[in-house]
Structure 1
Amino acid sequence: MIVVSDTSPISNLAAIGQLVILQQLYSEVIVPTAVHQELLNSGSEDLAVLAIQTLDWIQIRSVNNAALLQPLQAILDVGEAEAIVLAIELTADRLLMNERRGRQQAIQAGLKVTGLLGILLAAKQQKVVTTVKPLLDALIANGFWVHGELYAETLSLARE
């Protein structure tokens, strides 16, 4: 399975010490160079920085298709744009992305997109985690914003 990720799923899971969820779900995650740089720019003490520098299951790849990249960079940040283009180039099975505009562009491009809440639900479904609520609460406590209705819907889907 080919999985490409934007910055947010990696940085948020790293912040709560749950980056291993991605490895257990997908074995390998590929990030474009812009996402790698965004993670590095978050600070040397950030858990995502340490992860990206030490974990061999997170691979870094360059984007090649400038013609696809340019129009996306006009409306999205560079990490999101590169993640979408890399997912297209690699014919990825899944793109991990949270930001609404990026998700919309990725879906329009025919990509299958999963956000952080979907990752948590998949982790529970595949028995990688036993409960979603404590992880969701930890993400929120760490600054990840979830609308109240989506929070309730996620817990309902998780049967919690």
Structure 2
Amino acid sequence: MSYSSMAPDVWDPSFESDPDSMLSSDQCVIKDQHFFIRGLVEIPVIGSEDVFSWGVWVSLSRDNFARALEVWNTEGREAEKPYFGWLSTELALYSESTTNLKTNAHTRPVGQRPFIELEPTNHPLAVEQRTGITRDRVREIAMAVLHRA
């Protein structure tokens, strides 16, 4: 019920040797100029209590990234206002590019990845987040992801 990207689309393995770059399971910095956090675009599954999740990366401003790091392990961090960001993960299953969709990253309790809310546009991913998907769509996504790997 979930698929994830291991790094933002702009990450390159050559950045591993750059002292101003880093990639962890939840945060990424590229050349001390681009800042990312990992979160979940959650989509309700119609007719069930289930939720399908895309694990994605969102770029944040330097200030928002610094604030997110400041409260990363702080109890009550879910009271933070959402951080504006740009989706930095291309989900090839969608006919329109998902890169650079506008988002709000909502911090959740310590140990949980942020909830990534897409701007309510007509993009197919944003529509699915608002309206939900069927179990057949979940199977379609699973088949597409598994056959692409």
TM over 0.5: no
Bigger proportion of residues as helix: 1
Bigger proportion of residues as strand: 2
